[in-house]
């Protein structure tokens, strides 16, 4: 395929509607990202990946499919990429971060539902996302009511395999989750026709751990004052982490980190020294949802950490690499994944411990609780998060928002007042 239009036609993309989408993105990216000062050179790779988002990587994926690989779309940090790669398939985290797709989602879903779910549903049904179009199967999960139920609608358009994620973390749920990973392995094996071997699983565990280590390294550098990279840039990297080739991604993040090491030596940063440091905690921010970071970082503060699924929850905790049999490795995977603290579990007090630890580690001045509208688990859990922070006199502000721009000015006013108030 000599150009992306051929690719998109091949993928049965609705070209006219897709053109509308593509017409919005470049200016939006330019406004939010390219306007930043003193960006690291290492961001050029990520700029390229995002500016050719519906071309570069989808083209690679189609080429891999033509060589016989299967492409597996996922939606959640609890779905283990390791198993997908070990079965000789490619895992891509599908997104739904744009308002563009919401009206199409609302044709089959209630309006008062999380924008992320409406967005990815619209992306599939409107045939305007090449990542959905080149997925052979989607792996859903029972994380929240909205996602649990949307698979029953989306499965009319594409095969969906649903993993039953436990809702508690007692001993029995660890076993149930281990069993669930075994079932996924079987499913992937029958999809690809390839049996997962010890070597393949061990090597994919290493590969994904390396990606986690690179992201961890990047996050560690944000602890510096002045901070050597904007929160907005790190958010972009996290978003790309979900669908890029894992080995290349890891390498590019490490190259960037080398550059940031140099900056730190020189005491160089992207914000003034002692700029107010913000931790964002709550729901994920799928590409291209950059709203809150953009508001915070054009209001004089720096986002230094995200306790979200597009933040620490994605890369914290490594899989133990000491397993030698498949059973041991799957047990290790099960343990690592259930350590992640999402509000879909009850109780989920360890998330509050995570937040308090991150506040301390990243020398945070104030916390913004971010909630996608109608995300019930995080919305209800916020009460206990706020209480825990107030007990320690840590300022916290709740921002609930959707993907429209309707509330941008109002959020900016509130965020500015919040930053102003930080000592």
Using CB under 8 A as the criterion, which residues of the chain lie in contact with its own copies when the complex forms?
A: 108-110, 112-113, 142, 144-146, 148-153, 162, 164, 166-168, 170, 172-173, 176, 179, 343-344, 346-348, 373-374, 376-377, 379-384, 400
Least distance in Å: CB of 104 to its own copies?
14
Instruction: Give 380: exposed, middle or buried? Use CB within 10 Å, 0-12, 13-18, 19+.
Output: exposed
Least distance in Å: CB of 411 to its own copies?
17
- The gap from C-alpha 315 to its chain's centroid, in whole angstroms, comes to 10
Instruction: Give the three-class secondary structure for 408.
Output: helix
Least distance in Å: CB of 168 to its own copies?
5
* 133 sits in which H/E element: helix 130-133
Q: For its own copies, give the closer residue by CB, 26 or 110.
A: 110
CA-nearest of 229, 182, 202, 246 to 86 is 202
My answer on whether omega of the bond before 174 falls inside 30° of 0, hence cis, is no
Least distance in Å: CB of 151 to its own copies?
7
Q: For its own copies, give the closer residue by CB, 69 or 169.
A: 169
CA-nearest of 79, 4, 1, 42 to 337 is 79
For 268, residues 6+ apart whose C-beta sits below 8 A from its C-beta are 38, 226, 228
Least distance in Å: CB of 261 to its own copies?
42
Do the Cβ atoms of 352 and 378 come closer than 8 Å? Answer: no
CA-nearest of 289, 345, 338 to 144 is 345
Q: For its own copies, give the closer residue by CB, 165 or 205.
A: 165
Q: For its own copies, give the closer residue by CB, 152 or 272.
A: 152
Q: For its own copies, give the closer residue by CB, 373 or 408.
A: 373
Q: For its own copies, give the closer residue by CB, 113 or 319.
A: 113
CA distance 201 to 359: 35
Least distance in Å: CB of 250 to its own copies?
34
Least distance in Å: CB of 114 to its own copies?
8
Q: For its own copies, give the closer residue by CB, 29 or 382.
A: 382
CA distance 282 to 301: 19
């Amino acid at each position: 395929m000599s150009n992306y239009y051929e690719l998109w036609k091949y993928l049965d993309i609705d070209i006219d509607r897709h053109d509308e989408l593509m017409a919005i993105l470049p200016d939006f990216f330019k406004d939010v990202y390219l306007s930043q000062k003193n960006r690291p050179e290492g961001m050029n790779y990520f700029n390229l990946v995002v500016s050719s988002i519906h071309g570069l990587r989808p083209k690679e994926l189609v080429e891999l499919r033509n060589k016989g690989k299967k492409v597996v779309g996922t939606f959640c940090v609890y779905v283990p990429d390791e198993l997908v790669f070990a079965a000789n398939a490619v895992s891509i985290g599908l997104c739904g971060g744009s308002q563009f797709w919401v009206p199409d989602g609302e044709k089959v879903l209630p309006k008062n539902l999380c924008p992320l779910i409406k967005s990815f549903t619209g992306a599939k049904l409107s045939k305007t996302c090449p990542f959905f179009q080149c997925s052979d199967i989607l792996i859903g999960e029972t994380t929240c009511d909205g996602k649990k139920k949307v698979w029953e609608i989306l499965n009319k358009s594409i095969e969906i395999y649903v993993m039953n994620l436990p809702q508690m973390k007692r001993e029995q749920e660890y076993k149930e989750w281990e069993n669930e990973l075994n079932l996924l392995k079987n499913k992937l094996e029958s999809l690809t026709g390839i049996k997962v071997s010890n070597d393949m699983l061990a090597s994919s565990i290493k590969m994904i751990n390396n990606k986690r280590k690179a992201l961890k390294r990047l996050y560690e550098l944000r602890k510096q004052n002045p901070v050597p990279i904007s929160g907005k840039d790190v958010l972009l990297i996290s978003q790309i982490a979900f669908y890029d080739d894992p080995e290349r991604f890891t390498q590019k993040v490490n190259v960037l980190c080398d550059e940031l090491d140099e900056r730190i030596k020189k005491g160089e940063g992207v914000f003034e020294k002692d700029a107010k440091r913000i931790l964002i905690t709550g729901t994920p921010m799928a590409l291209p949802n950059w709203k809150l970071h953009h508001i915070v970082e054009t209001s004089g503060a720096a986002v230094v950490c995200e306790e979200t699924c597009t933040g620490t929850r994605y890369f914290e905790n490594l899989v133990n690499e000491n397993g030698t049999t498949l059973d041991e490795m799957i047990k290790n995977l099960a343990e690592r994944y259930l350590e992640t603290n999402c509000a879909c579990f009850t109780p989920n007090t360890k998330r509050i411990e995570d937040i308090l630890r991150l506040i301390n580690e990243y020398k945070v001045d104030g916390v913004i609780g971010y909630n996608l509208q109608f995300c019930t688990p995080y919305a209800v859990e916020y009460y206990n998060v706020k209480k825990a922070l107030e007990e320690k006199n840590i300022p916290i502000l709740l921002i609930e928002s959707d993907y429209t721009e309707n509330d941008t000015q109002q959020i900016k006013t509130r965020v500015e007042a919040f930053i102003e108030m930080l000592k």
